[in-house]
Chains A and B, each alone.
Chain A
Amino acid sequence: MAAIELNGVTKRFEDDDGVFETLQLSSTPSVTAVNDLSFSVAEGEVFGFLGPNGAGKSTTINMLLDFVRPTEGTIRVLGHDAQAESVAVRRRTGVLPEGYDVYDRLTGREHVEFAIQSKEADDDPDELLSRVGLDPEDAGRRAGGYSKGMTQRLALAMALAGSPDLLILDEPSSGLDPAGAREMREIVRAEAERGATVFFSSHVLGQVEAVCDRVGIMRNGELIAEDSIRGLRSRIGTDSVLRLDVDGNADLAAVRNVEGVSSVDADGERLAVSCTDDAKTSVIEAIEASGATVADFETDTASLEDIFIAYTEGGKTTEETEVSA
């Protein structure tokens, strides 16, 4: 069974329809935040939900949690309808929402106790708090005085209460320093090892690369790619850029003919060859065979960041990539 399953989900935000707004004659045009979105996340999977700000990630997550309702389509989470059976979903889900705030007057520990009570769990609040790196002194203080990073740790502790089957984390690393972000990843990994499904969003690739089994990339309310990190890499087609300083005239046509080479750019005696990892040796051999010598070379591995930018900013590779769902 899939932990999360979306089917043709669309969310349009119409203008507000509060009692008072209906009296006003102004109307704002509706905005389509999510458009015909379908994908699923398997049980036990760590799924990274990527995309630039405003791509529809949070709206999607808010629909999983029934904070907002889809205009069209169906959503099932842990086998329950996300709208009709939202409480059942949230009983087994730990959530780190986006755009939340803590109760200023309750202490950190009271927040965690409230989460434990609500989930009818029997965790030790101090254990959860130390797990997310909130020291006991801070845990006893009112959360109103917390920094963004401490608030984020507190919310994560609340999410972990009751050993949920599913963790939904919306931009979990925001507000955390690099060390905090690393601890966050370690917690995600530990939860996945325990058997939990983890669904988390990020606009920072580095957070995702190390922990995700699979990623989905959102742009303008649509899922434009869904694959493993390796799959995404290979789909971009170019794994590495080989930069070479060449003495003499290399036969560029011969280099282009090497299997696995996708492009060759020459700038005087400097060549930049985009190719797969396996093709590197053949490229150097082809250059030397044409009578030139390779004085020096270096390899740039295409980072996930490059892939991400290629997808989300609509480079030529994006146009060629079919969306798989």
Chain B
Amino acid sequence: MTVESVARKDFRDALRSRWLIGLTLFFALLIGGSTALFYGVLLKGAGANSETLFGLTTAPGGLFSFSYAGMLGFVLALIALVTAHGSLIDERESGTIKLLLSLPNSRRDVVFGKLVGRTLVVLVSMLVGFVIAMFAMLFLGGQVMFASYAGQVALSGLLATSFVSIGIWLSATSTSQRQALFGTFGLYFIFAVLWSTVATGVPRVVNWAMDQLGLGTLSMTQVIEMRLFIKYLNPLRAYETLVAELYGPAVAARLFKASLGERLTIKGVFEESLPFYFNGWFILAILLAWIVVPPILGYLSFRKADL
């Protein structure tokens, strides 16, 4: 009938399969548990507020580089992909899609209904984790900075949704479960591991090509800008820098986890004038594009598919 009825059925299925319960427990332990541990044990009675943990960029004592948002981003992305990657292909392989499409549901209803259903599953479980974390902080004497905390929750929701979208795209485009699975892990590997290599490699290749063509070479600033731009095309990195902006100035957020060399070269340039494509709103638009574009691509492919 509508996107809504497909979404509702999908959500109910997640309830029945205990996937929702499992995820909720997982996020309760991960977000709620880490918060309780931090405020109850590590910073006991230190009068900390929510930004102490969630705005955290290095481990207490500065022993190693750690960002809470970075950790949470990796986990959310993986959970979202795992939740979404089978959504359409599983029904295609089992044949339940024929039952679904025998009824007056359009293929658009099915793709976007799945998107809504699976997104809700991830968001609901994640929200429970954040709510538990909030009560843990309040209970353990930490102060909750509501503006930045709400921002963090909202951005985490957007990141999770973007990876559900990517999972739906993979699921809609694949012709077997094996394909969807390999695609999922492949993409996750690219976003989580390979991306920095790409971000470093592309400017080098461009530089080399320009040199070969006798067009001169890029300036150091241009190389670093290109590298940063590519870096923030990755939803995981976009999320991380947007979260950092909740806890500090935009320039610092854009140079979050940048190398010392990058900092030295570009900080002054950025402080003078931050290019619009490094503006927070622009980065947010990139994150939103990851939510909107993949399911549309998935639908366009699924629309043409022979089931």
Contact = CB atoms under 8 A, between A and B. Distances in A.
Interface of A: 13, 16, 18-21, 62, 65-69, 86-88, 90-91, 95-103, 105-106, 111, 114-115, 117-120, 155, 158-159
B123 to A, nearest CB: 21
A91 B103 CA distance: 7
Contact of A103 (B1, B13, B179): B13
B95 interface: yes
A118 B17 contact: no
A155 B94 CA distance: 15
A164 B139 CA distance: 59
B103 A18 contact: no
A317 B176 CA distance: 44
User: Could you tell me the dominant secondary structure of chain B's interface residues?
Assistant: helix
Contacts, number: 96
Contacts of A111: 99
A100 B98 contact: yes
Contact of B104 (A18, A101, A105, A118): A118
A117 B13 contact: no
Nearest to A97: B98
Interface string B69-106: 00000000000000000000000001110110111111
Nearest to A63: B306
Contact of B9 (A21, A101, A114): A114
B106 A99 contact: no
A69 B9 CA distance: 27
Given A95-B102, A100-B99, A21 B16 contact: no
A18 B173 contact: yes
Contact of A158 (B99, B175, B176): B99
Given A62-B306, A158-B99, 16 more contacts: A16-B175, A19-B301, A20-B183, A87-B105, A90-B102, A90-B103, A90-B105, A97-B99, A97-B102, A98-B98, A99-B98, A101-B98, A103-B13, A111-B99, A158-B102, A158-B103
A138 to B, nearest CB: 18
A101 B101 CA distance: 12
B37 to A, nearest CB: 35
Contacts of A88: 104
B9 to A, nearest CB: 6
A54 B69 CA distance: 55
B5 interface: yes
Interface in B97-130: 98-99, 101-106
A114 B8 CA distance: 10
A19 B103 CA distance: 28
Between B94, B99, B176, the greatest number of chain A beta carbons within 10 A of the residue's beta carbon is seen for B99
Nearest to B102: A95
A87 B104 contact: yes
